Structure 1
Amino acid sequence: MSKGPGLFADIGKSAKDLLTRDYSTDQKFSISTNSVSGVALTSTALKNGVLHAANVATQYKYRNALFDVKIDTDSNILTTVTFTEILPSTKAIASFKVPDYNSSKLEVQYFHDHATVTAAAALQQNPLIDVTATLGSPTISFGAEAGYDTTSRTFTKYNVGISVTKPDRCASIILGDKGDSIKASYLYHLNESKRSAAVGEVVRKISTNENTVTVGGLYAVDHLTNVKAKLNSNGKLGAVLQHEVLPKSIVTISGEIDTKTLDKYPRFGLSLALKP
């Protein structure tokens, strides 16, 4: 694939991930194992020790096709087939779930040095259609997306955005919610390894005249330990501590407190992910 402007979903993604990823108030324990044949087993347990979910996943690659099959404890089978280079610079992704056939979906992505276009449709009699387009380069890009319901013949969404990306920083502005919200974000990497960063985000809801400001950061204590924190204008303070106890095995401790109602107990989350 070409090194173009990227997908519309990539606009503002780095800042969003830093402010949302790993912030959780659940207690979770998971073990992932992989066999030589490519079969992966993932088990997850809640804090009471009862097995909550067990998933079996397998991947198989044949020429330009990648087959990904996942089976969970509810006997749901999710199959995703990804075809690359059927046509030059094109990727096709087909997914379907058994027994929920209504979740079947087909997506086509086209990558160019100066443009990226995607089209996705649910495989139903009256499908929902999503289309995105991004123009520019890896440094600066302009994008738009739209969703259309063929049943009601109405647009379910239409958003536009712009992104500027440098080696040590990235900024984005997205006009979303059918023009009812504006989100601006800025992420700055404090070192070349990009393991320490500062981020800021401003969201304005036009119909209600509400503004929400969120600031956060990531700091690498050492090569095994990371600390993240965020605070928004509504008084919500969150923090995350991650430590790699073993290679590819990470323990995550997260917490959240409302600084405007200190009489309430803070919420905590604990996650241990083991990958032998």
Structure 2
Amino acid sequence: MHGLGNKTHTHEFLFTLRNQPIPSTMPQPVPPSWKDLGKSASDLLQKDYPIHGTSLEVKTLTPSNVAFKVAGTRDSASNSITGDIEGKYTDFKNGLTVTQAWTTSNLLRTQVELENQLANGLKLDLNTTLNPAKSQKAAILTAIYKQPSVHTRAVADVFKGPTFTADAVVGHDGFLVGGEASYDVSSGKLNRYAAAVGYSAPEYAVTIHSLQQLSIYSASYYHKVSKDVEAGARAVYDTKATTGGVSIEVGTKAYLDNAAFVKAKINDAGLLVLGYTQALRPGVKASFGLALDTAKLNDTSAGNAAHKVGASFTFNS
């Protein structure tokens, strides 16, 4: 009887084990595109530093899903003023977006985007530029395909070359590997190729690029230290540079409250750049930037171009 009881318990255990649900593996996310590899560090070190002049941007949205944007910039070095007006219509149901813009340099830009219509994860993009006064034109056709673990893109520059460019990024468990190559039809050879590897996690990211026919090496690092503090750095080594050495840039971002943050960065040449961004009210944002050449702090000449100051204002309604 005792042996029979053990056998019965064993059968019950095996039955329970066989009927347990098999744990499913988490699906892999779509990796970033080639141009967005290292984006966290790049945004930290490049965005929100309006040091080259004053800019104004106004965005509005109509009930019929037509968005208008008017932007203007005054360059502090040349005192020139440039601007553009843009209209964008989005048909969410059919995945269609049409954007048209006209700039003060008499450029007419048209962009047509179609997403997830021919195939799930496929986006087609036609971007054209026309300068009627100079009879200059350009057309770039882009196909983007993205799925879990892979993000690819193919670009055809119709009038230049023509040139075909393809890039791809493969990701698995945070590890990223990508490459890019550009082929010129008229010359029949590759005119550009590059590669990159990286690792991305919620709190930090590391990316290494090899650009310009593997002649320039760039390494970037981003770290979200806390919910209020971010830090990052980038080092670039150009094997063809005559000066030699590695250029290094480090920066940080700190949130003062829910509506304001400050940024600071400095490079190995001693250029210190500060930025301050304040949300004045919902949809209204102001940014201010200051660049100081710490090696020329005592240079008070009026023509000193090392020190720069600027501002940017954005209205979004």
| Cα distance in 2 between the residues matched to 1:9 and 1:138 | 20
Match of 2:3 in 1: none
Q: 1:224 to 1:136 in 2, by over 3 A?
A: same
CA positional deviation for 1:56: 3.2
What are the equivalent positions in structure 2 for 1:4-153 lying under 5 Å apart?
4-24=30-50, 25-46=52-73, 52-61=82-91, 63-73=93-103, 74=106, 76-98=108-130, 102-124=137-159, 126-137=161-172, 139-153=174-188
C-alpha distance 46-136 of structure 1, shift in aligned 2 (>3 A): closer
Amino acid at match of 2:44: L
Structure 1 residues 16 and 88: alpha-carbon distance in aligned structure 2, compared to 1, 3 A threshold: same
**Amino acid corresponding to residue 316 of structure 2 in structure 1:** K
Give the 3 Å change call, closer, same or farther, for CA 110–246 of structure 1 in structure 2.
same
Is 2:299 the counterpart of 1:269? no
Contact preservation (8 Å) 2:86, 2:101: yes
Tell me, in whole angstroms, the C-alpha distance in 2 between the residues paired with 1:89 and 1:44: 32
Question: Which secondary structure does the structure 2 equivalent of 1:57 belong to?
Answer: strand
Please tell me whether the aligned partners of residues 229 and 237 of structure 1 are also in contact (alpha carbons under 8 angstroms). yes
The DSSP-based 3-state class of the residue aligned with 2:257 is: coil
For the pair 1:227 / 2:227, whether they are aligned, the reply is: no
Asked if the contact 2:123–2:144 (Cα under 8 Å) also holds between the matched residues in 1, the reply is yes
| Partner of residue 16, structure 2 | none
More moved, 204-213 vs 86-95: 86-95
1:260, distance to aligned residue in structure 2 (A):
1.5
In the superposition, relative to structure 1, how do residues 115 and 41 fare at CA in structure 2: closer, same or farther (>3 Å)?
closer
Alignment counterpart, residue 198 of structure 1, candidates 207, 227, 231: 231
Ranges in structure 1 where 5+ consecutive residues have no aligned partner: none
Counterpart AA for 1:59 = Y
Change over 3 Å in CA distance of 1:32–1:50 after alignment to 2:
farther
Contact 2:74 2:81 in 1 (8 A): no
Distance 1:50 1:261 in 2: 26
User: Does 1:171 find its partner at 2:197?
Assistant: no
Percent identical pairs in the alignment equals 21
Alpha carbons of structure 1 residues 215 and 62: separation in structure 2 relative to 1, 3 Å:
closer
The TM-score with structure 1 as length reference comes to 0.89
The answer to whether the 8 Å contact 1:202/1:212 transfers is yes
Structure 2 SS opposite 1:88: coil
CA–CA separation in structure 1 for the residues paired with 2:89 and 2:284: 22
Task: Look up the SS of the partner of 1:18 in the other structure.
Answer: helix
Looking at structure 2, the residues matched to 207 and 4 of structure 1 have their Cα atoms a distance apart, in angstroms, of 35
Instruction: Name the SS for the 1:173 alignment partner.
Output: strand
Alpha-carbon separation, structure 2, partners of 1:60 and 1:200? 37
Unaligned runs of 5+ in 2: 1-27
Provide the aligned C-alpha RMSD in A: 2.4
Q: Which moved more, 1:237-246 or 1:100-109?
A: 100-109
Q: Contact (CA 8 Å) 1:108, 1:118: kept in 2 or not?
A: yes
Between the two proteins, the alignment pairs up a number of residues equal to: 273
The residue type paired with residue 273 of structure 2 is: G
2:213 partner SS = helix
Query: Equivalents in 2 of 1:236, 1:40: separation in Å?
Result: 38
Secondary structure of the structure 1 residue equivalent to 2:60: strand
Q: 1:136 to 1:77 in 2, by over 3 A?
A: closer
Separation in 2 of the partners of 1:259 and 1:158? 37
CA deviation vs aligned residue, 1:64-103 (integer Å, no higher than 9, x gap) = 3312222325361422222324123322222223457742
Larger Rg: 2
